Amino acid sequence: GSVPKAPYLELNDGHRLPQLGLGTWLGNSSQGRIKPQGHEVQQAVEWAIAAGYRHVDTARVYGTEPQVGAAIREAVRRGDVKREDLFVTTKLWNDRHARAAVVPALRESLAALGLDYVDLYLVHWPIGQFPNGSYDLTDHLSTWRGMEEAQRLGLARSIGLSNFNQSQIEGILAGCDVKPAVLQVEMNLNLQQESLRAYCSSRGIVLTAYTPFGSLLKGGAGAAGAGATRVDDPVLVEMAGKYNKTVPQIVLRYLMELGVAAIPKTITKQRVEQNMDIFDFHLTAADRAALRGLDAGLRTIAGGRWADSPQYPFERSDG
């Protein structure tokens, strides 16, 4: 078997989340692919488990659940890991916000994964949409009742939210029976989420950073233009050299030291391993302060196509 490498964060429901996980969305690569080719995701998840990952992030809409599930079943079959030692997250898509649609949607995800439960089920976006594209304004609390039922049925050990803003989370907290355990939002050097982090910590909600590299690596898409710190930034390059690490490793280490979880995506074996190799060093306070100073409030995943929904969560000036 392989040895787990990342520390755990305690959730408000008694479960624990491995602080570093593997992302599996293929829509953000330089090739702009969405559908997996061959067995690339299955292979990446198998490499990840062998490298000590115990946390994998997928979603119904990514189309990667079958490969994530196949990798997990294979690793369990080989005796590398036990199912109960893995933390698997999937997400409810926007077209299933009706309360009665939540449990059936999760059952579809479980069938695709070939698993009988997930560790975490997230409402992917606070934006409901009918299949024809018009907005489904089901209130969030009603969707959340469906999430609570999924947990009661044992189909999801923990439940949480993604892309909700502070006031939308307040709305859930005001009427829920089960508090969200996790909020998954974009967080990276260029979008450090200070106020949302403070809010989540005051409410006992663990934050997971998605798109942890933000605009660092990308060649001009989204908000990667003016103002974004890039991977060849001389300050970052020098800092990384000092620790004998890469700039992506410095960024992930910084997120770990801020107490959030992170789910970097890669289907490259050497990067799968590199991204987990961040638990043998600490940043100095001065370096943490320098990294903090790079926060530019630049969002790369803005959900701009939903900007006209009354449920749109972000400042519309984000683009």
Q: Which residues bind ligand NDP (CB under 6 A)?
A: 23-25, 28-30, 57, 124, 162-163, 184, 210-213, 217, 248, 263-268, 271, 274-275, 301
Nearer to ligand NDP, 19 or 163 (CB): 163
Strand partners, 118: 156
The distance of closest approach from Cβ of residue 37 to ligand NDP in the complex, given in angstroms and rounded to an integer, is 12
Contacts of 164 (CB under 8 A, 6+ apart): 123, 126, 140, 172, 183, 185, 313
Q: How many CB atoms lie within 10 A of CB 177?
A: 9
Minimum CB separation of residue 275 from ligand NDP in Å reads 5
Measured from the CB of residue 79, what is the shortest distance to ligand NDP in angstroms? 27
Q: In terms of CB distance, is 1 or 259 closer to ligand NDP? A: 259
Cα gap 300→98, rounded to integer Å: 28
Beta carbon nearer to ligand NDP, 195 or 270: 270
How far, in Å, CA of 134 to CA of 259, rounded? Answer: 38
Residue nearest to ligand NDP (CB): 23
CB atoms within 10 A of CB 195: 9
Using the minimum distance from each CB to ligand NDP, give the nearer residue, 98 or 217: 217
The DSSP element (H or E) to which 67 belongs, if any, is: helix 65-77
Closest approach, Cβ 157 to ligand NDP, in A, equals 18
Closest CA to 250 of 277, 226, 268, 227: 277
Sign of torsion over alpha carbons 62, 133, 318, 31: positive
For 35, 47, 142, 146, 250, the CA distances from 107, given in Å and listed in that order, are: 21, 27, 19, 12, 38
Q: Please, what is the minimum distance in Å from the beta carbon of residue 263 to ligand NDP?
A: 5
Residue type, 143: T
Tell me which H or E stretch contains 234.
Answer: helix 234-243
Active site residues: 62
Nearer of residues 94 and 151 to ligand NDP, judged by Cβ: 94
